[in-house]
């Protein structure tokens, strides 16, 4: 109906205006201090990227609901550190700020969650597993705060739970967690499938043979986990990823519209 289309258009205009207003506000000095203290990658970014990221953080914190779990009380540090890492993935790109995401649930440390697995003949087994994070298609990301802070402060160990789970959010924006996020042009999907599919198969073989790899073997679980693991490595160990997996690096560079090797080369051993 015409009135519905008009309502959607008006809503979109109002949303853009509100977000522009949030991005235009002065960035709180105490938030800047949090970034400098707890997310050292921030100060390694070019000034223009720092300013863009600050604007994204203000929108993200205003729009998303943060909930403490297991007795945890949410603080500004938690909001800013999580938002900064999540929004680093959005730099230089048209973004709707993870539109499916409504809430970030934060535990003090690792938490127990049930995994359901089909074992054949219609049998489903449930097992308890310790988790550091999860991305739900139903509008939530779950994070362990100690792992989140550790990932923010340790910028080149290849492990970052926020990068991992928010890569899943990007992957899930089209409704499918399949390792293929929404790309700019339909013609890009063939190249994406060829490169990431080939790298996934390579990692699967290496994991099965227990060979040491740059990419975490967890990425061999399925294509969705491979994309998340590759994203972690892209931002955490860009130089090594470019050296050992140049085609994968180029695909991620094109998708994220960032070149960490160039952006971070003055400060990070890449």
- Positive or negative, the CA dihedral 164, 93, 237, 221 is positive
* CB-CB contact of 49 with 72 (8 Å): no
Q: What pLDDT, in 10s, does the model give residues 147-192?
A: 999 999 986 777 899 999 999 999 999 988 999 999 999 999 999 9
Q: What pLDDT, in 10s, does the model give residues 18-57?
A: 999 999 999 999 999 999 999 999 998 999 999 999 999 9
Across 82-131, the runs of DSSP E, i.e. the strands, are 103-107, 111-120, 123-131
Task: Give the residue from 102, 113, 155 showing the smallest Cα distance to 267.
Answer: 155
Task: Give the residue from 118, 6, 117, 142 showing the smallest Cα distance to 66.
Answer: 142
Q: How far is CA 59 from the centre of its chain?
A: 16
Give all domains of the chain, ordered by start, each with its CATH number.
1-155 (1.10.472.150), 178-270 (3.40.390.10)
pTM: 0.89
* CB-CB contact of 126 with 115 (8 Å): yes
Task: Give the residue from 139, 141, 143, 135 showing the smallest Cα distance to 168.
Answer: 135
CA end-to-end distance (rounded Å), the chain: 54
């Amino acid at each position: 109906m015409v009135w519905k289309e008009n309502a959607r258009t008006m809503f979109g205009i109002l949303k853009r205006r509100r977000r522009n207003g949030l991005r235009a506000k002065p960035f709180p000095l105490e938030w800047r201090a949090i970034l400098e203290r707890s997310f050292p990658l921030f100060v390694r970014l070019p000034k223009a990227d720092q300013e863009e990221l600050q604007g994204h953080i203000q929108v993200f914190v205003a729009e998303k609901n943060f909930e403490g779990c297991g007795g945890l009380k949410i603080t500004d540090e938690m909001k800013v550190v999580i938002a900064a890492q999540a929004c680093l993935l959005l730099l230089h790109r048209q973004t709707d700020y993870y539109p499916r995401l409504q809430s970030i649930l934060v535990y003090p440390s690792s938490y127990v969650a049930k995994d359901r697995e089909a074992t054949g003949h219609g049998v489903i087994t449930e097992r308890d597993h310790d988790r550091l994070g999860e991305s739900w298609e139903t509008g939530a990301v779950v994070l362990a705060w100690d792992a989140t802070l550790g990932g923010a402060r340790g910028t080149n160990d290849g492990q970052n739970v926020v990068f991992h789970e928010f890569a899943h959010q990007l992957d899930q924006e089209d409704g499918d967690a399949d390792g293929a996020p929404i790309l700019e042009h339909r013609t890009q999907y063939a190249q994406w499938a060829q490169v990431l599919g080939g790298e996934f198969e390579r990692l699967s073989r290496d994991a099965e043979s227990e060979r040491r790899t740059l990419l975490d073997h967890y990425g061999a679980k399925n294509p969705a986990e491979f994309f998340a693991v590759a994203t972690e490595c892209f931002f955490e160990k860009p130089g090594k990823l470019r050296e050992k997996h140049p085609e994968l690096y180029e695909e991620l560079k094109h998708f994220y519209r960032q070149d960490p090797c160039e952006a971070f080369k003055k400060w990070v051993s890449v």
